[in-house]
Structure 1
Amino acid sequence: MKKYFIICFFSIFLGACKSTPYSDETTKNNLRVPAYPLLTLHPHMKVWSMTDELNNQNVTFGGSKQLPFIGFLRVDGVMYRFMGSKELPMQTIAPMALDHEKWKGKFTCLIPDEGWEQPGFDDKRWQISEGAFGTPGMWEAKTQWVSSDIWVRREVDVDPYLLEHKKIYLRYSHDDVFQLYINGKQLVSTGYDWGANFKVEVPDSILQTMKGGKAIIAAHCENREGGGLVDFGLFAEEPTIPVETLAPISYEKEWTGKYTMEQPKENWETAGFDDTAWTEGQAAFGTNDQRNVRTPWFSPNIWVRRKLTFDPSLVKNKQIYLCYSHDDVFQLYVNGMQLVSTGYEWKSDLRVNIPDSIADTMKDGQAVIAAHCENRMGGALVDFGLYAESKEARQKSVDVQATQTHYTFECGDVELKLSFTAPYLLDDLETLARPVNYISYQAKALDDNEHDVAIYFEIDPHKAFDAGQSTQMYEKDGLALMKTGKENQKLWVNKEREDRAWGYFYLGTKDDVTCAQGDAAEMRAYFMKEGDLKQMRKSNEKRYAAFAQKLDVDSDFPQHLTAAFDGLYTMAYFGEDLRPYWNKNGEKTIEDLYVEAEEEYKEVMAKCYEFDRQLMADAYLVGGKEYAELCALAYRQSVSAFQMSESPEGDLLYFTPQVGPVDEYYPASPLYLRYNPKLVEAMLNPFFYYSESGKWGKPYPVHDLGGYPIVNGQTVGGDMPVEEAGNALIMTAAIAKMEKNASYAEKHWETLTHWAEYLLEIGTDTGDQLTTDNFAGGCHHHANLSAKSILGIASYAKLAEMLNKKEEAKKYMDAAREMVKEWEESAYDGDHYRLAFDQPDSWGMKYNLVWDRLLDLNLFPERVIQKEMDFYLTKMNEFGCPLDSRHSYTKTDWTVWTASLSTDSTTFRKFILPLHKFMNETKDRVPMADFINTDRTTIVDFRGRSVVGGYFIRLLEQK
């Protein structure tokens, strides 16, 4: 009750103030969300974290591709990784088509002269083409090859630094007999075989020939039968970073320890124990059926001790961990303190971090690892090794708000707050349309002492974006920027990939940062040593980009990076190439955008925090804590699906990539009606234009208008006449209700009249028309679709009344009332109403009826609503009420609409709590889905869509 009072007061207080000073307080969202939104810049440019711990794995781009985006905090010389995976991927020297990258080579299908594999061979008569080379049907193949043999030569530039500091590997795919040479020396030779993504280390004898910075990779393949393929690339792998080996496990390198098979004296596990009588042996210790065993052991027990000496600074600066394998019962100690104790089991390649309590005993660079293993049956094994890697920050909390996702981490004696902000303020079109997100960070001392703190971000966008990516760092007008995208982009030419985004991704700031491009491992090591990237050497490696910045500990306001996306154009709109709203006149540059975003950073951040608090307070009041948490998660997901432009006629356009369909805007509309009805007008503008231009010519709205990037008419599915006419009429009436005038409807009155006349002509029974829920199976004579049609007719009547068109208002409202009587009689099925008029014992959610109360239409008797709600509650599963009687799955947006049919908050929460429970427990770590199972924790489909804006329908009544 106390918390409820506080939130009520907070809501009233915020509403009474025109503006508030900056405050980073939030009403904490405790929902363990399925996926955490980080950067949401464009419908095709979104970055998510799919795990509860931000440093558990790399973030995800576009819902499926891993994006290496790494963050370290350096505290007094110690590195803590707070974001991204610890794994450092292989560095590409020359890419493979297998990785969806492009490469070129010379080839011939005629037997070449001797020496064809040598660097000095004259290949000027060979053809130049794009790799890979293969027969039709090989998806990697960019150049078709149908002869029995092919010879390929490829010249590669190699940074000599890599040869000195990294292991070099060749990766290749082939089908069938295959030989490959580097600088004339053979590296691969196969028999009649085929396979993909083989990996072989390049030996020193070949590396010596590459020191001049050039390599000629030459390959011959003989295709004896079926498919043929030649694909290869050169890669570098860091041998020591991010892991340093203090003492290897046996499968990396043999090691020596002391052992005994007789019960030792007390304190055998301590560092000071006298083990001179023990036998020296080589690991691993075990039975001969185990791998890498060098000291056989067949007795019931063995005790092993291993003394280690290492750089003591590693204990302070790194996370020390132990890898071990054992068979059977096993105990392991470090300097006399127990670290591992198992029951009767056998496992290999396990890992355990050395806790601070044990690490404190290792500060002098000395450690004794002691192990005891009891072999109860069968094989036996004892093996272990000690390693060091960068420390992981301890994540203390994560909080998903409407416009922001906040993390806090403990990094030694410093706390880091990290926030990802998408300034989606729907009542401020200029800010909303700006494709800018902020990554903010703030350091706070936990021990009241001074600390030297710096932050480091590193990104490899090539892993996520399409092939042909180019990344460059540059400075301009005080800005330090990274730009990445495909070079020489040609508008709308890629017909094979119309789902991809044209444009460029930017990351940078006007703050005092240092930045570099180069080898990731080298940049990390340099930053760890220096705390910046000022003198970082220039490298031929251009894929990785990094930013470093010194942090002001305990500052009142965060520092930040700004992420932006320049989509160039939003779409080709009926022959006109439209620019994004922020650059609608084509006069702004991305640097202008950055200047605006940087100047307004503090003000925008204050507004975002204020908006997030207000949304949570408002949603809490009408639906409780769980409802508020769902709305906070739904907000950014829905808004990030839209772009904004102006039509050639000057009308505002707000659209998803497909530009519709109307039956996706309809469920999303409550969010936008709640915060800015003008955006719902902007959703409908293209559909009114299409009908009024004469391009459509049918008495109901088009389903969709084409889809990114070409918008010139319907492309998806067939017509949905009643569905879309009802949607458009209801949405237009809702706009008028929220704006308290019908001027938008008056502007399109003739078109609205055609749509209302069509619905009136169809009548109560809509026959065999498609519905928005057709994914659940075709359903003729659908009662919920009929209800939408009736409400659409009544919406038209309501608009006519607002425009003082009294005769039309009476005609259509009277007709709607008569249709309701027919509906109730046709749908009646005892204790509920049917899914379809002609299907006894069927049932389904009548979620469309929610508009009867929201629009003050008052058509359907209260007994209809009450009977339906009572019946739905008898059909509830663990995670909600099914959509209808045919399946156990449901739609989450319709669930919230159905819950909102009741004005009783207790009944409303009976629908919301199972939905909240599903989102909190689902095993599918994807952006919030709207098509889920109600009897298990898995989704069905439809993830990351805008329709979750429908969650806000309960808030419309409050507005």
Structure 2
Amino acid sequence: MHSFGLLSLASFLFAFCVASQVTWKATPFNPSSIPLAVRSPYLSTWLPQGGGNPLNGVWPQHWTGQTVGWAGFIKVDGTAYSFLGDPGIGAPFTKATQKSMEFTSTQSIFIMSCGPIDLNVTFLSPVEPSDLSKQSFPFSYMALSATSTDGNSHSVQVYSDISAEWVVGDNSLAVNWTTVEGDTLVHQVQLQTQTVFAEKDDRALYGSVFYSTTAGSGVTFQTGEDLVVRAQFVNNSVLLNTKDSNFRAIANDWPVFAFAHDLGKIAATPSIPVVVSVGNVHDPAISYIVAGGKLQDRSSLFWNQFSTISDAITSFMGEYLDALARNSKFDAQVQSDAMTISADYAAIVALSIRQTLGATDITISKSNDGSWNATDILVFMKEISSDGNVNTVDVIFPAYPLLLYVNPLLAKYLLAGLFEYQATGQYPNKYSAHDLGASYPKALGHNDGKDEQMPVEESGNMLIMALSYAQKSGDNSQLTTYAGLLDQWTQFLIQDSLIPESQISTDDFAGALANQTNLAIKGIIGIKAMALIAEILGDDKKSSNYSSTAASYVSQWQYLATSSDQSHLTLSYGNSSSWGLSYNLYADKLLKLNLFPDTIYQMQTNWYRTVQQPFGVPLDTRHTYTKSDWQIWTAAIMSDTNARDFFITSVKNAAANGLSSQPLGDWYEARDGTPEAFRARPVVGGHLALLALSSQPASSANGSAPTASAITPNGNAARGFTLPLPFSWLGTVLRRYQSH
């Protein structure tokens, strides 16, 4: 049974059992949870589908698993159908039937059958690699378009609302709200008592949630108790344009914020999309430590373009079709690139992009005169679901392939905060810091040096990432500015990477271990990376010395790390019965170092054939669980395509097995695909490892100061998209919309 490229019987049975619970067409497959509105750590809403919940079979959830009420109804010739959420009201309605679900890199699209009408429900969480100001805007779209399926025309009205549960997970807390009327209708909801930079259960205790649509004929709104507002639409097809002023706790008569749209008579041509947007804004977004222990308030980058949130929302609403076209082209390009590997790989990549970028905030600071400092852009990443740290180096590291593929500037700005903080001298350790702060969104550093200790891991990661960004972008500014820090970390690696002391690595849940073979790989590659950095900086002597050291370490490492029968690399030196995923070899390929001999890659390829499980190869011999990001990294170093494809298909099958209802988890049992604790983590950006190896940027940053918008993208995001748009209905809708 040990053969790459063939699904095990157990894997097949799992897939068959899940598929039998799904009554709709799923493209490319049915994931455990489907991204609906995923743009930031706090705007992260998913459909917990599990083994087969349709869009109208369960309430959407925040990534934490907390309910965020999002309801949708459609009326067709006076008959009401629910298409979103799982509402109960004191009025009669029928549940629409889900006909299909499709997800791409930026969109989740559902076709709901509502009697003689098909309703297209498209959730678009934009990925805007060519404009980081747009990427920083924590808003997402839902668009509704109806089509008659019986050859006749029908009267159609649609309704949607969000509940105050979008604000925070504690339903005992009191909220207030307002509705602003104008060209854009905006419901704004927030806690009555706010605490800046505070969280409860990974939800922010400050900021506001916005639910918006474009005003016009046939558009009505209402706020109030959920049962009352929803029944008003179901019974009357219209809302009352009234505002509930009884501010209260979230669970007290469950206040909701609703819009209704009259689509008129609908025939066989898709109707012009009705668009609503949902956003979650926190200003300031991040508290960041600067020189002298001072704290700097940082805001989302989009504020550089807009003076009010109302202006920003109006702009966002007005460019839906342009955003849809841009993102459909991006989807097509990602699909084209990933399909050169396999269909399973393209599916995994598509599911990973929103999740990774949805863990980030792109920020800007102010100058002393109060103006925005367009030269000071920093990206912050939340270590979602594991411990909530800010810019954890060994979380950025596995996510790095996605950043290099989408836009290397995102990689630069994620590293920048770490470099800047450690360059102030406030961090006392000689190796790289583990993170920028223990609790998001407080990037307060670790001036006591008591962050989680991963000295070889993080030092090697920083060197590898700094060089890979420079190679992709042609921008050597960070190498030049922080040469001293990079050299300091290299000196530490020279001391502790060939024979690492007992310590934890990025897989800290597996425990500390001395003489880790895979950790030594990272340290040695870090030394070689510094050799190339020194060469870039014109220090040939240092480059030669570091290259010699790395080469010497590889020779010694081969002797220490190979099992006594020469069949595989060990997990730790001297333990021939141990082994693990040697995923750190990926950096040798990414940086094009050719530091480790081909015989090592071939040996590992052969070995993994003998230890595979139905859902992949275990992380190491201490446990039977595995990690999806490291499996894809390992796939990228395999010596043949059958070996590569086994890892890819194993990850896809785990994502599609329906054994949970949580957003994509990277940690699960290799034997049966059962997920472990992690969910929605940005490390799934590592699933783009194969794309990062082959992609080349079309232009470089050249060390120049970026502007707040239209920032130069990576070539994969910016080069001309010539593939057709992936959805047959889209072209018709675009033409009809633009004609009005």
With structure 1 as the length reference, what TM-score do the two structures score? 0.64
Give the partner amino acid of 1:558: P
For residues 519-553 of structure 1, the C-alpha deviation after alignment (integer angstroms, 9 at most, x for no partner) is 33333333234321146696856812221011263
For 1:73 and 1:933, the matched residues in 2 are separated by 42
Give the partner amino acid of 2:207: G
- Whichever structure has more helix as a proportion of its residues is 2
Extract unaligned runs of 5+ from structure 2.
1-24, 247-252, 367-372, 383-388, 696-740
2:421 corresponds to which residue? Answer: 690
Q: Report the CA distance between 1:459 and its aligned residue.
A: 2.6
Equivalent residue for 2:404, pick from 663, 667, 673: 673
CA shift in 2, pair 1:501/1:36, >3 Å: farther
CA shift in 2, pair 1:537/1:528, >3 Å: farther
For 2:202 and 2:78, the matched residues in 1 are separated by 47
1:318 corresponds to which residue? Answer: none
> SS of the counterpart of 1:572?
strand
Equivalent residue for 1:483, pick from 188, 194, 209: 188
For 1:556 and 1:451, the matched residues in 2 are separated by 12
For 1:45 and 1:538, the matched residues in 2 are separated by 25
Is the Cα contact below 8 Å between 2:356 and 2:682 reproduced in 1?
yes
Equivalent residue for 1:49, pick from 47, 50, 58: 47
> SS of the counterpart of 1:925?
coil
Q: How does 1:809-958 map to 2 (within 5 A)?
A: 809-829=543-563, 830-902=566-638, 904-958=640-694
1:606 corresponds to which residue? Answer: 325
For residues 12-68 of structure 1, the C-alpha deviation after alignment (integer angstroms, 9 at most, x for no partner) is xxxxxxxxxxxxxxx983211010111124302321111230111111124322223
User: Does residue 279 of structure 2 align to residue 564 of structure 1?
Assistant: yes
CA shift in 2, pair 1:529/1:756, >3 Å: same
CA shift in 2, pair 1:519/1:828, >3 Å: closer
For 1:535 and 1:578, the matched residues in 2 are separated by 38
CA shift in 2, pair 1:695/1:716, >3 Å: closer
Q: How does 1:25-64 map to 2 (within 5 A)?
A: 29-51=27-49, 52-64=53-65
Is the Cα contact below 8 Å between 1:526 and 1:536 reproduced in 2?
no
CA shift in 2, pair 1:538/1:809, >3 Å: closer
What's the Cα RMSD here? Answer: 2.2
Give the partner amino acid of 2:353: Y
Q: Report the CA distance between 1:763 and its aligned residue.
A: 4.7
Q: Report the CA distance between 1:925 and its aligned residue.
A: 1.1
Give the partner amino acid of 1:632: A
CA shift in 2, pair 1:582/1:514, >3 Å: farther
| The structure with more radius of gyration | 1
Is the Cα contact below 8 Å between 2:176 and 2:192 reproduced in 1?
no
1:83 corresponds to which residue? Answer: 84
For 1:547 and 1:436, the matched residues in 2 are separated by 17
For residues 619-639 of structure 1, the C-alpha deviation after alignment (integer angstroms, 9 at most, x for no partner) is 111x20111101111111111
Q: Report the CA distance between 1:458 and its aligned residue.
A: 2.5
User: Does residue 254 of structure 2 align to residue 550 of structure 1?
Assistant: no
1:432 corresponds to which residue? Answer: 135
Give the partner amino acid of 1:507: Y
Q: Report the CA distance between 1:585 and its aligned residue.
A: 5.6
CA shift in 2, pair 1:583/1:738, >3 Å: closer
1:533 corresponds to which residue? Answer: 239
Give the partner amino acid of 2:435: D
For residues 285-316 of structure 1, the C-alpha deviation after alignment (integer angstroms, 9 at most, x for no partner) is xxxxxxxxxxxxxxxxxxxxxxxxxxxxxxxx
2:117 corresponds to which residue? Answer: 414
Give the partner amino acid of 2:44: K
2:17 corresponds to which residue? Answer: none
For 1:873 and 1:938, the matched residues in 2 are separated by 22
Is the Cα contact below 8 Å between 1:473 and 1:545 reproduced in 2?
no
Give the partner amino acid of 1:702: A
Give the partner amino acid of 2:55: L
For 1:63 and 1:550, the matched residues in 2 are separated by 35
User: Does residue 517 of structure 2 align to residue 783 of structure 1?
Assistant: yes
Is the Cα contact below 8 Å between 1:498 and 1:709 reproduced in 2?
no
> SS of the counterpart of 1:544?
strand
Is the Cα contact below 8 Å between 2:522 and 2:584 reproduced in 1?
yes
Q: Report the CA distance between 1:580 and its aligned residue.
A: 2.5
Q: How does 1:243-262 map to 2 (within 5 A)?
A: none
Q: Report the CA distance between 1:711 and its aligned residue.
A: 2.0
Is the Cα contact below 8 Å between 1:458 and 1:547 reproduced in 2?
yes
For 2:307 and 2:26, the matched residues in 1 are separated by 38
For 1:38 and 1:774, the matched residues in 2 are separated by 31
2:146 corresponds to which residue? Answer: 443
Equivalent residue for 1:795, pick from 529, 534, 541: 529
Give the partner amino acid of 1:705: L
Give the partner amino acid of 2:78: G
User: Does residue 242 of structure 2 align to residue 510 of structure 1?
Assistant: no
Extract unaligned runs of 5+ from structure 1.
1-26, 89-240, 243-388
Is the Cα contact below 8 Å between 1:499 and 1:708 reproduced in 2?
no
For residues 494-540 of structure 1, the C-alpha deviation after alignment (integer angstroms, 9 at most, x for no partner) is 58767535211000112432100123333333323432114669685
For residues 357-384 of structure 1, the C-alpha deviation after alignment (integer angstroms, 9 at most, x for no partner) is xxxxxxxxxxxxxxxxxxxxxxxxxxxx
For residues 188-227 of structure 1, the C-alpha deviation after alignment (integer angstroms, 9 at most, x for no partner) is xxxxxxxxxxxxxxxxxxxxxxxxxxxxxxxxxxxxxxxx
1:249 corresponds to which residue? Answer: none
For 1:76 and 1:902, the matched residues in 2 are separated by 59
For 2:434 and 2:667, the matched residues in 1 are separated by 21
Equivalent residue for 1:640, pick from 335, 345, 358: 358
Higher normalized contact order (CA 8 Å, seq sep 6+, divided by chain length): 2
Give the partner amino acid of 2:379: Y
For residues 531-584 of structure 1, the C-alpha deviation after alignment (integer angstroms, 9 at most, x for no partner) is 211466968568122210112633464220011221121122124342433355
Is the Cα contact below 8 Å between 1:579 and 1:586 reproduced in 2?
no
With structure 2 as the length reference, what TM-score do the two structures score? 0.82
For 1:641 and 1:716, the matched residues in 2 are separated by 25
Structure 1 runs of 4+ aligned residues shifted over 6 Å read: 495-498, 535-539
Q: Percent of pairs identical after alignment?
A: 29
CA shift in 2, pair 1:547/1:556, >3 Å: closer
Equivalent residue for 2:307, pick from 567, 588, 593: 588
Q: How does 1:448-463 map to 2 (within 5 A)?
A: 448-462=151-165
2:734 corresponds to which residue? Answer: none
Q: Report the CA distance between 1:445 and its aligned residue.
A: 1.1
> SS of the counterpart of 2:595?
coil
For residues 588-622 of structure 1, the C-alpha deviation after alignment (integer angstroms, 9 at most, x for no partner) is 2210111221232221111011111111111111x
For 1:545 and 1:809, the matched residues in 2 are separated by 62
Is the Cα contact below 8 Å between 2:390 and 2:442 reproduced in 1?
no
Q: How does 1:144-223 map to 2 (within 5 A)?
A: none
For 1:78 and 1:539, the matched residues in 2 are separated by 31
Q: Report the CA distance between 1:865 and its aligned residue.
A: 0.7
For residues 370-424 of structure 1, the C-alpha deviation after alignment (integer angstroms, 9 at most, x for no partner) is xxxxxxxxxxxxxxxxxxx411111011111111111111111111000111112
For 1:956 and 1:919, the matched residues in 2 are separated by 21
Q: Report the CA distance between 1:436 and its aligned residue.
A: 1.4
For 2:60 and 2:632, the matched residues in 1 are separated by 30
Q: Report the CA distance between 1:841 and its aligned residue.
A: 1.3
Is the Cα contact below 8 Å between 1:619 and 1:628 reproduced in 2?
yes
Give the partner amino acid of 2:317: E
CA shift in 2, pair 1:550/1:889, >3 Å: same
What is the aligned length? 633
> SS of the counterpart of 1:545?
strand
Give the partner amino acid of 2:352: A
> SS of the counterpart of 1:58?
coil
CA shift in 2, pair 1:824/1:922, >3 Å: farther
CA shift in 2, pair 1:795/1:618, >3 Å: same
User: Does residue 173 of structure 2 align to residue 468 of structure 1?
Assistant: yes
Query: Please, which moves more after superposition, 812-821 or 461-470?
Result: 461-470
Q: Report the CA distance between 1:752 and its aligned residue.
A: 0.9
> SS of the counterpart of 2:600?
helix
For residues 767-811 of structure 1, the C-alpha deviation after alignment (integer angstroms, 9 at most, x for no partner) is 213211221122110010000000001111112223332222211
